[in-house]
């Protein structure tokens, strides 16, 4: 399943690395993060096997970022 999310509070490359690492640990594939450093917002798209995307959202929240609904 393809999932697209908008994440708030992302301001640099490090944030991108943290989120990517967390998502790889969950087993997500084709992770793509488009970062707007000025607005501190990132567009995330990825493929995930499980039907429930709450795991993904929780993983991002655990890293300290907000997921827009």
Which residue ranges make up the site for other proteins (CB under 8 A)? 11-15, 17-18, 21, 63-64
Phi and psi, residue 60, nearest 5°: -70, -40
CB atoms within 10 A of CB 42: 22
Least distance CB 18 / other proteins (angstroms): 6
- 69 burial (CB, 10 Å; 0-12 / 13-18 / 19+) is exposed
Indicate the residue among 5 and 18 with the shorter CB distance to other proteins.
18
Indicate the residue among 47 and 64 with the shorter CB distance to other proteins.
64
Least distance CB 51 / other proteins (angstroms): 29
């Amino acid at each position: 399943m393809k999932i697209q999310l908008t994440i708030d509070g992302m301001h640099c490359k490090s944030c991108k690395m943290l989120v990517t690492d967390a998502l790889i640990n969950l087993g997500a594939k084709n992770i793509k993060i488009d970062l707007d450093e000025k607005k501190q917002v990132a567009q995330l798209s990825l493929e995930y096997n499980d039907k429930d995307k709450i795991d993904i959202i929780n993983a991002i929240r655990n890293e300290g970022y907000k997921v827009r609904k």
